[in-house]
Amino acid sequence: MHILTTTSASLDDLAEPIDLRQTPADVVALSFTDSDLAGLAAAWKADAARLPSMRLAALRDLRHPMSVDLWIDSVARHAKVVLVRILGGYDWWRYGSDQLAAVARERGIKLALLPGESHDEDQRLIEASTLPRAELDALLGYFREGGPANMSALVQRLARLAGSDTAVAEPVSVPKAGYYQPGIGVVAKSVFLNVGDPSHLPLSGR
């Protein structure tokens, strides 16, 4: 009889330490998804002159505990607002969540730990955050609805949390299907079918 030798390791154990070498900023946002980071980056660049400084980082680069410690010491502990969206919830970034929660309370940082799945609720992330539940729900709402307008409003809201005198719009629902033209809304299919250029006809959903 042969007994197999087995070992177990978490994603954090398998990751190599990384120093992102970022400089501090008033607002910091982390996410596992490139779409979140790209949306936030585009929204911030569009109005950077009026917004507080912002740093973005991918959570996949902060899986090792040493990477987390280096990043918190150099960036997060100096921020006014930290937003983290964790795909998979608390268990997928437990060490980082716990360390950020401790530093945020020590330094008076406004911390929002959000689940990556917009429809889910993670009580442990809510409890680790320093912002009230209503504010967490509002921040998650921008991700839930998506789109450039909501990302822009999210950045404005983060700026206000950081102390800027910024007007903030609430999340706006974007149709999940159909023809949508920015600035106009849902457009009738007949409008697109009569654009006059057959090469630009939309694909049929049937």
Range of the domain at 191: 175-206
In a domain, 15, yes or no: no
**Residues ≥6 apart with Cβ < 8 Å to 16:** 64
Whether residues 180 and 159 fall in one domain:
no
What is each CA distance from 157 to 43, 54, 142, in whole angstroms? Answer: 12, 13, 10
In a domain, 129, yes or no: yes
Whether residues 102 and 89 fall in one domain:
yes
In a domain, 9, yes or no: no
Condensed to tens digits (0 to 9), the pLDDT of residues 70-99 reads 999 999 999 999 999 999 899 999 999 999
Whether residues 82 and 38 fall in one domain:
yes
Whether residues 142 and 204 fall in one domain:
no
In a domain, 111, yes or no: yes
Q: State mean pLDDT over 185-201.
A: 55
CATH number at residue 156: 3.40.50
Q: State mean pLDDT over 18-23.
A: 94
Whether residues 191 and 122 fall in one domain:
no
**Cβ neighbours around 102 below 10 Å, total:** 12
What is each CA distance from 124 to 102, 107, 113, 119, 136, in whole angstroms? Answer: 14, 20, 9, 15, 13
Least confident of 35-39, 65-69, 166-170: 166-170
Whether residues 56 and 151 fall in one domain:
yes
pLDDT score of 117: 77
Residue 126 has pLDDT above 80, yes or no: yes
Whether residues 85 and 109 fall in one domain:
yes
Residue 7 has pLDDT above 60, yes or no: no
Distance CA 11, CA 203 (A): 41
Residue 132 has pLDDT above 90, yes or no: yes
Whether residues 110 and 60 fall in one domain:
yes
Query: Structurally, how many domains does the chain consist of?
Result: 2
Q: State mean pLDDT over 21-31.
A: 97
User: Could you tell me the pLDDT band of residue 177, with boundaries at 50, 70 and 90?
Assistant: low
Q: State mean pLDDT over 178-182.
A: 57
